[in-house]
Structure 1
């Protein structure tokens, strides 16, 4: 049974496969992804893929509670939240755009390696603020109702950029290190994903769920949902 903070969700493998094909079309047809026109507009239409964000949390997997524009404390909004009903296991998601320099800045600014880009830092700062809000508002009744408890198990996910931005081993290692070792009170961990990595992760999950190869756009039985491309 859902709470007033979430919408109930039932996982449908065939629908999820169709949404994944639509996601692939967006990635194939757009080198750059705008946050609103290509990401938020489409994930509004992809509830099955939204539920799959629960697979980043070891205690959620396929979430059966989903909410877009989820309030975190009094001041912050997550683009997406998913939760396992009857638990305090929650995954919060922040989407940022995907342009060539949205993970690492184009200018070296006197450095030998590029600094993190503003889009990356903006999204990461949002996750830091969620951690602060979780720690600050956990005593309030609204917080406990929304998160399922006073000390919820919350995972943060930031999706930003394309994998082409990780063009050398140093960039790849910095990306992986920041995801693996960023820890905050209030969060179980932080997962960083490019949109290409996200597609690959979802594809793996659906293949596991199906026990076979995910149908391609040409052989699948379900038609792909409309996308904002």
Structure 2
């Protein structure tokens, strides 16, 4: 389904973010379906994720299909700039970032690797046939610039090796020159708050 229009309202985004913070504080652990329903109910808050990647968002679509093969949980864009962000949400459970391994060194979880796998497929879809009609029709035209975000898990323990590993992963990755960002849900809320402050009316 192509992206729909949204008239972004920062005041509404602020209200939606406040209620989402309350929800997050009340839910230490949650599955992807539960948190996605909460975000879906707050589209103006969701637009805050795109700040820093695109100009003021005016396009949005949940369950966004890419070439009929792949799906992004959320796509946000700016029509004039033809700039887009594709976002994948995973769970916020204790094993969403790391699972298995040893007490001292746990493995990256299936959830976060699945999220990154989605990003690789989105990048491939663009690289393989960037002017393919099915691809450009979904975006409503050409794609000049795109970025990818994966949101997964809760913050690791401060000072832990897992925090340092996640910090490296979230700040250092790119795919074929395209920015890839990773956030925990706690980090997502902090980023949204910072973005809201930067556009304070």
With the length of structure 1 as denominator, give the TM-score of the two structures: 0.80
Change (3 A) 1:17 1:129: same
Q: Give, in angstroms, the shift of residue 136 of structure 1.
A: 1.6
Q: Does 1:30 align with 2:27?
A: yes
Aligned-pair CA distance for 1:106: 4.3
Match of 1:97 among 91, 95, 112: 91
Question: What does 1:15-94 align with in structure 2 at a 5 Å threshold?
Answer: 15-37=12-34, 39-57=35-53, 60-94=54-88
Please say which of residues 130-139 and 92-101 is displaced more in the overlay.
130-139
| 1:170 partnered with 2:161 | yes
**Please, what TM-score do these two structures have when normalized by structure 2?**
0.91
Deviation at 1:169, TM superposition (A): 4.1
Q: What's the secondary structure of 1:146's corresponding residue?
A: helix
Higher strand share: 2
- Could you tell me which runs of 5 or more consecutive residues in structure 1 were left unpaired when the two chains were aligned: 212-229
Is 1:13 equivalent to 2:10 in the alignment?
A: yes
Change (3 A) 1:28 1:85: same
1:204 and 2:201 correspond? no
Report how many aligned residue pairs link the two structures.
200
CA distance in structure 1 between the partners assigned to 2:126 and 2:68 by the alignment: 10
RMSD: 1.9
**CA–CA separation in structure 2 for the residues paired with 1:201 and 1:123:** 19
The answer to which of 138-147 and 44-53 deviates more is: 138-147
- Larger radius of gyration, structure 1 or 2? 1
- The whole-number CA distance in structure 2 between the counterparts of 1:133 and 1:72 is 7
Task: Compute the displacement of 1:180 (Å).
Answer: 2.7
Q: Deviations over 1:17-50 (max 9, x none)?
A: 110111111111000022112x111122101012
